[in-house]
Chains A and B, each alone.
Chain A
Amino acid sequence: SMIRAAILIQKWYRFTMARLEMRRRYSLSIFQSIEYADEQDQLQVCNLPFFLNVEILFEKPDVRKVVDEGLCLKEFEKKIDVPDSYYGPRLSFPLTAEDANALLHAFRNEQLLHARYVLQLLSETRRVLKEMPNITHLSTSYSKEITVCGDLHGNLDDLLLIFYKNGLPSEQNRYVFNGDFVDRGKNSMEILIILFAFLLIYPNDLHLNRGNHEDYIMNLRYGFTKEVSKKYKDHWKQILCLLRDVFSWLPLATIIDSKVLILHGGISDTTDLDFLNALERNKVRDRTDVGIILFSLKNSAVQIQHLCINFCYCDSNFYFFFFKLKSLMRPPKSVRDREEQTKKRIATSKASKHTATQHTAVKTQHNPPSGSAEPSGSNSPPDPALEEWKQILDILWSDPRSQNGCTPNKCRGGGCYFGPDVTAKLFARYNLKMLIRSHEFKPEGYEISHDGKVITIFSASNYYEEGSNRGAYIKLNPELTPRFVQYQVSKFTRTIESAALKSLREKIYAHRSELTSAFAQYDTNGTGRISVNDWAEAMESVLQLELPWRMLRPQLVQMNPDGEVDFMSCFYDLKMGQPTKEAQPALAETLCRYRKDLEIIFNIIDKDHSGLISFEEFSQTWRLFTSHLGIEVEDDSIDKLVLSIDYNKDGHIDFNEFLEAFHVVHRLEKKWCQKFH
């Protein structure tokens, strides 16, 4: 009958929807796991004990001037000409609401703000931010509601949507933006311009907190640096230089009515708000340093465990140069004690913090470099105390968890996981009622935890993919009851799974040999098949990603009718986008794994971001590194090196050739290892 048919259809419908929902959920967890694993790598960059201050790369005087001499508005006007053909907004300082509207209008129409105005805006912003305390105190007594927004990550559409739904910032409409304005999305610059403009117009009504992405190293990796260099081909260096300073002056937290604490990441059991308020926040900034460990076979150097990208140069003297930007936490081959590594890392990082200023080598027999990292005559601030660094790291990187206690945040590699007891203690100590933080992606745009005490607010909708999540913001009334408003920039679709799986497959490919040996350990009979359980355990331990492997199994690997997994089938059909001449799987894996790090190095050397490294750029960088470390390298050795990398002999090194240089590394590294072990 009709009813029965309808019931059947309904059953099927619910069945299908449930399975789709499950797939959507685990797709999100794939993205999240990979993202956190990535971010963790980057944090380690800051902790290497052996530094060359990359400020040297910005050594050109006219770039540094922007920061050191505090160029004022008039000087930018004199130095940078705005042609008549420019139809974008022309800002006049002090800014008014009209300027803000002009900016919004321009950005909606995908126009760019001219570099002169950008620099003027940034220098004014810095001037204003410098006056602000580390922790801003607000009161709801004379405004209706305060709106709190979370991560935007370069999604201009979300910011415009928020302003559309909630109104523009003004004395009657106050906003707090809780960090992570930049990276990943393609309009980070425009978001900053808008937020800074409103900050200048309404300095008491628009408040910004610093996020962990307001950091130069993160920007190098996650796209903001690239965005700026593409949009501002002539002035990007100055803009970035000034922006680094501006970021370091962003306030750390906001407190409303002495009851609601708003900061980007979270807290730890040692978080001390008074200490945070008193420290000099602009001194705790990114380490823009590339670590170099250099040793020579002549001195029979020991193998160094710092994890790096191997860039090997071989001449008659057998010098090996290692750039390392990767995580200290990744165990090399076997996957043993994760805990052990974490402890080591924390110990090393603490030690490295102390040794950083002296720049003594750790674990190497090579002579430490002479001289300090700071170029003479520079105005860069001295390194802050370890405690200051940790306090700020905690508030920018920590995540809440429901288990009690405060444990190191293994996922991120910095900050901690804090439980409800940590929250309760902090609240008791400072008489707080609520903690609003961001930093974590949430499918609904927000999440409440710790029994209502902690709210996570995330304002970047469709963060991973079209349709992945909603964004949200909080409206806080004078009673301090939060109200959530959700939105999504485009129509919700349920097709993010393929993108997530693609990322995951890339990771699988990058770890092919480790996985193969892990599988082999379970396959005692050499049949090529293992149980689903064993397969799942192997996957989790090698890739270090907590994912629902059994759910994912059908998409990743084939199973025979007995219910056993044919484990090598997860490597079939993995087409990698990056073309490599090398047929050996081991090298391709390494390239895949280190590709991102290599890209950063490449971008550092490629000073004008042309996509090509000229011999000149390469030589300059090489000379800087080696001279800083007190090593003499002959000019023609460098020339030979560069020539050998330029395969197509067009006088430049492109990124593919740069990657190819690893041919040499891999082969020589093997030889070297055989020779000395």
Chain B
Amino acid sequence: MASRKDAVVAEIEKKITKAFEVFDRESNKTVDVREIGCIIRSLGCFPNEAEVQELLDQVNIEVEDPSGFVHLDKFLPVMTKVLLDERFQPIPEDVLLHAFESLKGYLLRQNVILCCFSGEPFTQEEMEDMLNVAVDPETNILHYRDYLPKLVID
């Protein structure tokens, strides 16, 4: 029904707006473009970095915005569609566990570092962060069974 859909859309738009506001430092409906990935993920989506960039391109599609800020008015329609279409659904935990298991034997610290540089490479900060939390300093091994629950927080 049309009105039900409208209600759903309104709910989604409010949700996006509120998440946006948390990062909107100046309360002027803009956020730093580097925070967009954070906002998208906090709304429950699970894009990789390339997909985040793709969304950003859609947002900035009309005007080349050199200032490094994204305006809510541009972000809202793009993000609303993402949520309505239920894109970028999180991959279930057991798949994640599977991923760790397939890397068994490679989870020494040095190899973890190597992993960080493959795929969509981590930044220095991300890598250090993960290493500090995930790798046992004494054995230098990533115990994925301990780490997994930390990744899969509610």
Contact = CB atoms under 8 A, between A and B. Distances in A.
A449 B25 CA distance: 10
Interface string B1-38: 00000000011001100110111011110000000011
Given A3-B119, A7-B119, A449-B26, A13 B18 contact: no
B18 A549 contact: yes
B38 A3 contact: no
Contacts of B19: 22, 548, 550-551
A9 interface: yes
Contacts of A11: 46-48, 91
B31 to A, nearest CB: 11
A500 to B, nearest CB: 13
B41 A2 contact: no
A6 B115 contact: yes
Interface string A120-153: 0000000000000000000000000000000000
Given A3-B118, A17-B129, A26 B22 contact: yes
Nearest to A11: B48
B95 to A, nearest CB: 7
Given A18-B38, A21-B38, A533-B14, A5 B28 contact: no
A8 B22 contact: no
Interface in B99-119: 99-100, 102-103, 106, 115-116, 118-119
Nearest to A16: B151
A19 B23 contact: no
B153 A19 contact: yes
B96 interface: yes
A97 interface: no
Interface in B77-105: 90-91, 95-96, 99-100, 102-103
B120 interface: yes
Interface in B38-53: 38-42, 46-49
Contacts of A9: 96, 99-100, 103, 115, 151
B13 to A, nearest CB: 11
Given A3-B118, A402-B26, A533-B11, A14 B41 contact: yes
Interface residues of B, number: 46
B72 interface: no
A13 B22 contact: no
A54 interface: no
A548 B21 contact: yes
A551 B14 contact: no
Contacts of A20: 153
Contacts, number: 112
Contact of A10 (B10, B37, B42, B122): B122
Contacts of A14: 37, 41, 49, 126
B41 A18 contact: yes
Contact of B42 (A2, A18, A29, A449): A18
A447 interface: yes
A447 B129 contact: no
B76 interface: no
A402 B69 CA distance: 15
A503 interface: no
A164 interface: no
Contact of A548 (B11, B18, B28, B102): B18
Interface in B137-154: 150-154
A447 B32 CA distance: 14
A532 interface: yes
A184 interface: no
A6 B103 CA distance: 8
Nearest to B45: A15
A531 B7 CA distance: 11
A401 B118 contact: no
B120 to A, nearest CB: 6
Interface residues of A, number: 37
A81 B38 CA distance: 61
B130 interface: yes
Nearest to B15: A550
Contacts of A551: 18-19, 22, 42
Contact of A19 (B41, B122, B150): B41
A25 interface: yes
A495 to B, nearest CB: 12
A15 B120 CA distance: 14
A182 B123 CA distance: 39
A5 B153 contact: no
Interface in A10-40: 10-22, 25-26, 29
Contacts of A554: 154
A551 B48 CA distance: 22
Contacts of A2: 102-103, 106, 115, 118
Nearest to B102: A5
B116 to A, nearest CB: 8
Given A11-B91, A12-B91, A13-B130, A532 B11 contact: yes
Contacts of A401: 26-27
A8 B95 contact: yes
A513 interface: no
Contacts of A17: 38, 126, 129
A403 interface: yes
A401 B28 CA distance: 9
A29 B100 CA distance: 36
Contact of A7 (B37, B48, B126, B153): B48
A22 B106 CA distance: 32
A19 B154 CA distance: 9
Given A5-B99, A8-B95, A20-B153, A15 B22 contact: no
A2 B114 CA distance: 11
Nearest to B95: A8
Nearest to A21: B38
B115 to A, nearest CB: 4
Contact of A22 (B14, B22, B96, B118): B22
Contact of A5 (B22, B27, B38, B100): B100
A134 B118 CA distance: 60
A221 to B, nearest CB: 28
A640 to B, nearest CB: 55
A6 B116 CA distance: 7
A22 B21 contact: no
B120 A25 contact: no
B49 to A, nearest CB: 8
A435 B95 CA distance: 54
Nearest to B96: A12
Contacts of B25: 447
A8 B14 contact: no
Interface of A: 2-22, 25-26, 29, 401-403, 447, 449, 531-533, 548-551, 554
24 contacts: A2-B106, A6-B115, A6-B119, A8-B99, A9-B99, A9-B100, A10-B119, A10-B122, A11-B47, A11-B48, A12-B91, A13-B151, A15-B41, A16-B151, A17-B126, A18-B37, A18-B40, A18-B42, A21-B42, A402-B27, A533-B10, A548-B21, A551-B42, A554-B154
Q: Top 3 closest A-B pairs, CB basis?
A: A18-B41, A7-B119, A22-B42
Given A13-B126, A22-B19, 8 more contacts: A2-B115, A5-B102, A6-B99, A6-B103, A12-B151, A15-B46, A18-B42, A531-B11
